[in-house]
Structure 1
Amino acid sequence: MLTTAQTLGFLLAALVLTATPGPDNLMVLSVGMSQGRKPGIAFGLGCALGCLSHTLLAVVGVSALVASSPTAFTLLTWAGGAYLVWLGIKALRHAGAVRLDAAAGGSPSLKALFFKGLLANAINPKVVLFFLSFLPQFVVAERGEVGLQMGLLGLIFTAQAAVLFGLLGYFSGGIGAWLLRRPRVGPWLDRLAGTVFVALGLRMMTSR
C-alpha cells in the first residue's frame, strides 16, 4: 500500500504536470472553447480515463522488469529520465510556440466526444512512455508489491486528471478568452512545464 507521504508527493506532482500545457489539456480547452461546456467536459473525462490503459501497461511492463532484471529496470529509469529531460528542453526551447486551434466542424454527441478523448489519449505513444518514466519515481521497491503501488498511483493520476480536465472543460470558454487576451502568459506556462519535466528527469536519473 502507499504511505501518506508517498501519496501526497505523487498527487502534488501529478496536479502540477496535469495543469501545465500539454496535448491533452490543450485539446480539452479547444473543444470547450469551440463547442461549449458539456462537450469540453465529455472530451476531458475521456482523456483522463485513457490514462488507465497506460497504467496497465506500466504495471505489467515495469513489474516484469523488477522481477526479472534489476539491470533492465535501471536502464528503464535512465531512459525515462532522459526522455523527461528531452521533453523539458523541448518545452523551454519552444516556449510560446503552442497555438490553440478551435475545433472545426459539426457538434458530435457527448458519447462520441468522450470516446474520442479516450482514444486520443490511449493511442498516444508519448503518453505511454511518460507513464513508464513517471510512475516508477514514486514506487518504494523496498515495500514490495510494486505492481500494486503503480496501479494505485495510476488510479490517483486518473482521478485527479478527471477532476482537472472536467473543470477545464467547464471553464474553457473563460480561460480561452483570458489567454488570448494575454499572449505573454503562454511562454511562461511553457517554461514552467519545461522546468518541471527537466527537474523530474534529473531526479530520476540521479536517484536510482
Structure 2
Amino acid sequence: MEPVTLLSFAAAFLVFAASPGPDNMTIVARTLSHGPGAGIAYGFGMVVGILAFLVLAAAGLSVVAQEMGAVMTVLRYAGAAYLVWAGIRLWTAEPVLPAERAGSTRPGLAASVLTGLALNLGNPKMPLFYLALLPNVVGAALTPAQVGILAAVILAVEALVIGGHVLLAGRLRHALRTRAAVRRANRVAGGVMVGAGVAVIAAR
C-alpha cells in the first residue's frame, strides 16, 4: 500500500474521528465524572467496534450490514438508553471531590467498554464511512495485510483523538476543588451524556 494512500486514509479518518459527536462527548463526560479510566474504557470499546467494521468491510460490508440491520438497531438503542440512564444518574448524584473518589471503589469499567462497543456496532454512519472511503482509497477488495495496516492507522489516530479528549477532560476534573464545582461538572457531564444518547436515538 502506497504511503500517499495511507496518508489519505489517515487524514480522512482523523477528520471523522475528531469531529464533534456522541462518542467524543461521552469520552469527555465519562472522564469528568469518573476519571480518565472511564473515558479510556469507553474509547476502547469504541475502537473495537470501529475495527469490527473494518473486518466486515474486508468480508463485503454492504452485504453484511444489510444482514445485521436489526442487530445494529438493537445495539444502538441499548447503548443510547444506557447513556441517558447514566446521564440522569450523574445529574442527580451527590457531588464527590476527585480526592475523595480516589480512595473509594471505582465504578466498573466494563459498562463503559460495552457501551462504546454497542454504540459503534450500531452506528449507521460506520458502514457508510467505509463504503464511501475504502473503494476510493484502497480499492474494492482488501487483503489481510491491508486490513492489518489500516487497523494500525486507525489505532494510531484514535489513540491521538481519545488521548487528547481524556487529557483535557482530566485536567479540568482535577481543577474541581469544591462540591459546588463538582455538582456543576456532574450536571454538565450528565446533560452531555443524555444529549449524546438522544443524538444516537435520533440518528438515521
Distance (Å, rounded) in 1 between the aligned partners of 2:94 and 2:54: 32
1: CA distance, partners of 2:45 / 2:168:
22
- 8 Å contact from structure 1 (residues 52, 158) kept in 2: no
Label 1:207 to 1:165 Cα distance change in 2 as closer, same or farther (>3 A): closer
Residue of structure 2 aligned with 1:189, choices 182, 185, 188: 185
The 1:86–1:159 alpha-carbon spacing in structure 2 relative to 1, beyond 3 Å, is same
For 2:176, give the aligned amino acid: L
Closer, same or farther in 2 for the Cα pair 1:129/1:164, shift >3 Å? same
Give the 3 Å change call, closer, same or farther, for CA 15–70 of structure 1 in structure 2. Answer: closer
Task: Kindly provide the amino acid, as one letter, of the partner of residue 60 in structure 1.
Answer: A
**Distance verdict in 2 for CA 1:157–1:193, change over 3 Å:** farther
Q: One-letter code of the match for 1:200?
A: A
Structure 2 unaligned spans of 5+: 1-8, 57-63, 135-146
Q: Distance in 1 between matches of 2:118 and 2:154?
A: 13
Measure, in 1, the Cα distance between the counterparts of 2:169 and 2:18.
22
Tell whether 2:202 aligns with 1:206: yes
Deviations 1:169-203 (A, max 9, x none): 7x69xx74x533x3311111001111111111111
1:96–1:187 Cα contact (<8 Å) kept: yes
Give the structure-2-normalised TM-score.
0.57
- Cα distance in 2 between the residues matched to 1:143 and 1:102: 39
The equivalent of 2:65 in structure 1 is 66
- C-alpha contact (below 8 Å) 1:52/1:155 kept by paired residues: no
- 1:114-193 to 2 correspondences below 5 Å: 124-135=109-120, 137=123, 139-145=125-131, 155-163=156-164, 165=166, 176=174, 178-180=175-177, 182-193=178-189
Q: Secondary structure at the match of 1:86?
A: helix
TM-score, structure 1 as length reference = 0.56
After TM superposition, the structure 1 stretch with the greater mean CA deviation from structure 2, 64-73 or 136-145, is: 136-145
Alpha-carbon distance in structure 2 between the residues aligned to 1:138 and 1:88: 23
Structure 1, gaps ≥5 residues long: 29-46, 105-119
Q: Report the equivalent of 1:75.
A: 74
Over aligned residues, Cα RMSD in angstroms?
A: 4.5
SS at match of 2:100: coil
Is the CA contact 2:27–2:165 (under 8 Å) kept in the aligned structure 1? no
- Aligned equivalents of 2:179, 2:196: Cα separation in 1: 27
Residue by residue over 1:104-154, the C-alpha shift from the partner in whole angstroms, topping out at 9 and shown as x without a partner, is: 7xxxxxxxxxxxxxxx99x82112122124445483433435998998776
